[in-house]
């Protein structure tokens, strides 16, 4: 009997090693130092306070992963590393990588307990009790790391999301829990007559202000402080919730959708931005893995289109459509 190809198994045995090598190089600042130009091993070891032979193994591993080039005794960043792994790049994913390293990596060690008990792992991992996002925002630095990480992912997806449907008929978009504003920025940059607002907690506003200042659409975008569960929602004919619904329990989602529906004018709409599971929920892999991540970290989960449609229709929306974007998140729109 011919045995199945073991590659899917052996690749996954090795996968966490590749992730951790990248996490460690980002957290140590390897790519940030090399953003200034090539450097030899001794220089890097001195600046990183690392043992040269051990550091060489990490650097060589990163070269093998395509993040570094090694030539004439020196290491330098590839374009991939300069774009996504350095903290000062406009398209950086370093914030989410650091969050993955310091928060997700230890929490996922308790995935078995999360599956047995059906609850997140904050208390087990960090001895932390309280609302889940209180941990994300426990310090200004932790909040900035998390928000910058989410911004990096937003830059990958938001332009495709705002192109998924024709939004030219709307006058004002308000992104509820909009974070750094990447979705509203993308929408207002694409639709020149559209005005927008980011609605989020006060502590998020300074980071959003930094990102907004770089957009040519900044004069058409407001930053508004508030909590979408308790405060009056700003006036809009298009609301957006980007990677928000997957965080929460069913009853909290129903509460939020009910508030949005009540606030919308007739003909208004809600744009839902999430990773959509396939109909049978066995794929795509990025969505199934994210659903496990929601189990470990939140009280929510990922859903397929039928489940989102049911939630939206229950809240009173009359027409619901979906688009796959080919990016890390997909788009659903629902009209009142």
- Strands 238-242 and 221-225, how do they pair? unpaired
Q: What are phi and psi of 85, to 5 degrees?
A: -115, 0
In a shared domain, residues 71 and 202? no
pLDDT score for 151: 87
**Token pair 């992912």 in the structure block, residue:** 153
* pLDDT at site 298: 92
| pLDDT on residue 149 | 78
**pLDDT attached to residue 136:** 62
Q: Pick the catalytic residue: 120, 135, 151, 246?
A: 246
Are residue 37 and residue 172 in the same domain, yes or no?
no
Quick check: is 185 in a domain?
A: yes
63 assigned to some structural domain? yes
Q: What is the pLDDT at residue 135?
A: 63
The token pair that represents 45 in the structure block: 């070891």
Full strand arrangement of the beta sheet holding 68-71: 39-40, 74-77, 68-71
Reading the chain (336 residues) residue by residue, the pLDDT tens digits are: 899 999 999 999 999 999 999 999 999 999 999 999 999 999 999 999 999 999 999 999 999 999 999 999 999 999 999 999 999 998 899 989 998 998 899 999 999 999 999 999 999 998 877 656 666 667 777 777 778 878 888 889 999 999 999 999 999 999 999 999 999 999 999 999 999 999 999 988 999 999 999 999 999 999 999 999 999 999 999 999 999 999 999 999 999 999 999 999 999 999 999 999 999 999 999 999 999 999 999 999 999 999 999 999 999 999 999 999 999 999 999 999
- Find residue 110's DSSP bridge partners: none
Q: Out of 31, 54, 84, pick the residue that ends a domain.
A: 84
Say whether both 163 and 297 belong to one domain: yes
CATH of the domain at 294: 3.40.50.150
**Full domain range(s) for residue 297:** 157-335
d(CA 207, CA 122) in angstroms, rounded, equals 25
Give exposure, 227-242, as e/b (b: 16+ Cβ within 10 Å). ebeeeebbebbbbbbb
Domain count of the chain? 2
Question: How far apart, in whole angstroms, are the C-alpha atoms of residue 181 and residue 217?
Answer: 11
Domain end position, chosen among 84, 106, 133: 84
Q: Are residues 74 and 188 in the same domain?
A: no
Q: Within a domain: residue 173?
A: yes
Residues 79 and 161 in one domain: no
Instruction: Tell whether 206 is covered by a domain.
Output: yes
Q: How far is CA 190 from the centre of its chain?
A: 21
Residue 69 and residue 217 share a domain: no
Would you say 143 and 150 are in contact if contact means Cβ atoms under 8 Å apart? no
Does some domain include residue 102?
Answer: no
Catalytic-residue membership of 110: no
Rounded Cα distance between 253 and 246, Å, is 9
218 and 74 in one domain? no
Mark which of 84, 100, 124 sits at the end of a domain: 84
Could you tell me the CATH number of the domain that includes residue 25? 1.10.10.10
Residue 116 maps to a domain = no
**Rounded to whole angstroms, what are the CA distances from 325 to 44, 133, 162, 185, 207?**
40, 28, 10, 18, 27
**Does residue 53 form part of some domain?**
yes
């Amino acid at each position: 009997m011919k045995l199945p190809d073991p590659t899917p198994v052996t690749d996954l045995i090795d996968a966490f090693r590749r992730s951790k090598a990248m996490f460690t190089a980002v957290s140590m600042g390897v790519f940030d130092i090399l953003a200034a130009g090539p450097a030899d091993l001794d220089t890097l070891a001195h600046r990183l306070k690392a043992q040269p032979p051990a550091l060489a193994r990490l650097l060589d591993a990163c070269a093998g992963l395509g993040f570094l080039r090694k030539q004439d005794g020196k290491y330098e960043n590839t374009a991939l590393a300069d774009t996504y792994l350095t903290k000062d790049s406009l398209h950086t994913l370093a914030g989410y990588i650091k969050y993955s390293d310091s928060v997700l990596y230890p929490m996922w060690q308790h995935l078995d307990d999360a599956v047995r008990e059906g609850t997140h792992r904050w208390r087990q991992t960090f001895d932390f009790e309280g609302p889940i996002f209180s941990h994300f925002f426990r310090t200004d630095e932790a909040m900035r790391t998390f928000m910058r990480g989410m911004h990096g992912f937003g830059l990958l997806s938001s332009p495709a999301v705002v192109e998924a449907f024709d939004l030219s008929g709307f006058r004002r978009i308000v992104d509820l829990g909009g974070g750094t504003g990447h979705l509203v920025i993308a929408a207002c940059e694409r639709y020149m007559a559209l005005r927008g607002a980011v609605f989020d907690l006060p502590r998020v506003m300074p980071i959003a202000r930094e990102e907004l200042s770089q957009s040519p659409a900044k004069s058409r975008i407001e930053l508004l402080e508030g909590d979408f569960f308790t405060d009056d929602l700003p006036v809009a004919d298009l609301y957006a919730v980007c990677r928000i619904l997957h965080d929460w329990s069913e009853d909290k989602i129903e509460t939020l959708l009910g508030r949005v529906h009540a606030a919308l004018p007739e003909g208004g709409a809600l744009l839902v931005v999430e990773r959509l599971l396939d109909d049978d929920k066995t794929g795509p892999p990025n969505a199934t893995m994210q659903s496990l991540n929601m189990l470990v970290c939140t009280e929510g989960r990922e859903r397929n289109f039928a489940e989102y449609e049911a939630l939206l229709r229950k809240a009173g929306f009359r027409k619901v459509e979906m688009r796959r974007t080919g990016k890390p998140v997909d788009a659903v729109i629902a009209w009142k």
